[in-house]
Amino acid sequence: MSKELTIDFCLRLVPNFTKLVCELQKLHPEWSVQYLAGNLMEFGRGQTSGIVEPNEKDLAFYKSYLAALNFDQAQSALFSAYATGCLMGLVQNGELTPAQFIESVEISRQFAENCMDT
């Protein structure tokens, strides 16, 4: 996926992300930001792929990816987790290669840092 397509993908995710975060925070005010990020990542993956249960590789990736996020910029971290989950779903559907996934995750992370905590 090109940089332009990834940014467009992120822009299309923002409304759903905003609504989802608001709803989850209302339903689960006890959730930490880190726990919310994990749920957003899984929701994005499942929503995009249509595959209900994550596999062991998905779970291992979640854990390492979430550990690397900077939660001092909460909205950026949350969006990055959600977008990455959605991108994982595209890989599972064969719509994105692993190499494209890696590039798109970095672009979506930069998008989140530049646009979500402003």
Domain boundaries, the chain: 3-115
Q: Which residues of 41-51 are buried (b: 16+ CB within 10 A; e: fewer)?
A: bbbbbbebbee
Q: Which of 28-42, 48-62, 75-89 has the lowest mean pLDDT?
A: 48-62
**Using an 8 Å Cβ cutoff, are 70 and 76 in contact?**
yes
**Using an 8 Å Cβ cutoff, are 47 and 86 in contact?**
yes
Q: What is the pLDDT of residues 18-51, one digit of tens each?
A: 999 999 999 999 999 999 999 999 999 999 999 8
Distance from the Cα of residue 110 to its chain's centroid:
13
CA atoms of 83 and 112, how far apart (whole Å):
9
pTM of the predicted structure, to 2 decimals: 0.93
What is residue 116's three-state secondary structure? coil
CA atoms of 108 and 113, how far apart (whole Å):
9
